[in-house]
Amino acid sequence: MTADGQDRPHRRRRGMRRDRGSRTRTDRERPGSAESPGSAKSNTGRGSVDRERARSLRRKVFLITAASVTAIAALVGVLWFSPLMSVRQVEYVGDGRVTEEEVLRALSVAEGTPLLRVDTGAAARRVAGIPRVAEARVQRQYPSTVRVTVTERVPVVFFDSPQGQHLMDAGGVDYAIEPPPPGLARLVTPTPRHDDQVTQAALAVLEGLPEPVRVQVSEVAAPTISNISVTLDDGRVLVWGSIDDSERKSAVVSVLLTQPGQVFDVSSPELPTVK
């Protein structure tokens, strides 16, 4: 065989390998190239269905929300303007001194007013404006009742004036001119008022006394804020001084009053004296 004849078969075999290799690569690519377009079409179809479902769900939510808002608005309109749920009675709960007539006048809520139109906050403030009232609460009770609950002031002292004897609560509010109940302590200060510092100091001393001592107090006198004294029913006097160290003074008083004497000075609780 010639040299040319030997080379040709060798080149053909190499060429055949290249062909097989080419066909093999083509076979590997063929599934991918066949699936790729089909996969894109499938994903596009699913995306369209999902978007349509989302739009349908949004429409349903919108319709339900709109229907709910419309129903609520209609119900509020009925309750606001209709006499179906209107005031037909007032229920009053109190301590006994403030009369129902006083409360109804201050409440100022007309019968037949729809309950939703009753301003409970403003009504409570009007009732709380009654001098003897410490706190007032106004509530709607459906279908047709307004409930008013009143807490009255409790006197802790009284003071004398040209107009008569004034009752004063623990906050220093002068709320009534009438004879004090038995056992109430007299307050003696230059200007007994709730915004007066001397008055507030005297009331703080009274409040800080031990309960067994406080029930014996007949008078609290405070010419100045630093010169407060307490007189007991039996005539004994507690010289308190200022409100400083009141907790310590209160503890000393309980022990000191067991000693014989007339004047018990705790203005310096470290060095109390008895005369």
Same domain, 161 and 220: yes
Same domain, 165 and 148: no
Domain count of the fold of the chain: 3
Q: Which residues pair with 237 in a beta bridge?
A: 231, 263
The domain boundary, picked from 125, 152, 179, lies at 152
The confidence score (pLDDT) of residue 68 equals: 66
Q: Exposure pattern of 218-255 as b/e (b: 16+ CB <10 Å)?
A: eebbbeebeebbbbbeeeebbbbbbbebbeebbebbee
The confidence score (pLDDT) of residue 2 equals: 44
The confidence score (pLDDT) of residue 60 equals: 75
Q: Tell me which residue has tokens 């894109």.
A: 40
The confidence score (pLDDT) of residue 261 equals: 95
**Domain interval for residue 34:** 1-81
The domain boundary, picked from 126, 152, 178, lies at 152
The confidence score (pLDDT) of residue 19 equals: 43
Same domain, 167 and 252: yes
Same domain, 74 and 144: no
Same domain, 176 and 268: yes
Same domain, 159 and 219: yes
pTM: 0.68
The confidence score (pLDDT) of residue 51 equals: 76
Q: How far apart are the first and last CA of the chain?
A: 153
Mean pLDDT by 10 residues, the chain (275 residues): 45 44 43 48 65 75 69 56 79 91 93 90 96 96 93 97 97 96 97 96 96 96 97 97 94 93 95 94
Same domain, 206 and 260: yes
Same domain, 229 and 215: yes
The confidence score (pLDDT) of residue 34 equals: 45
User: Are the C-beta atoms of residues 167 and 154 closer than 8 Å to each other?
Assistant: no
CATH code of the domain containing 174: 3.40.50.11690
* In the chain, alpha helices (H): 3-81, 100-107, 120-128, 197-208, 211-214, 246-256
The domain boundary, picked from 152, 178, 204, lies at 152
The confidence score (pLDDT) of residue 30 equals: 45
Same domain, 39 and 55: yes
The confidence score (pLDDT) of residue 31 equals: 46
The confidence score (pLDDT) of residue 220 equals: 98
Q: Tell me which residue has tokens 């055949």.
A: 16
Q: Is 140 helix (H, G, I), strand (E, B) or coil?
A: strand
Same domain, 128 and 238: no
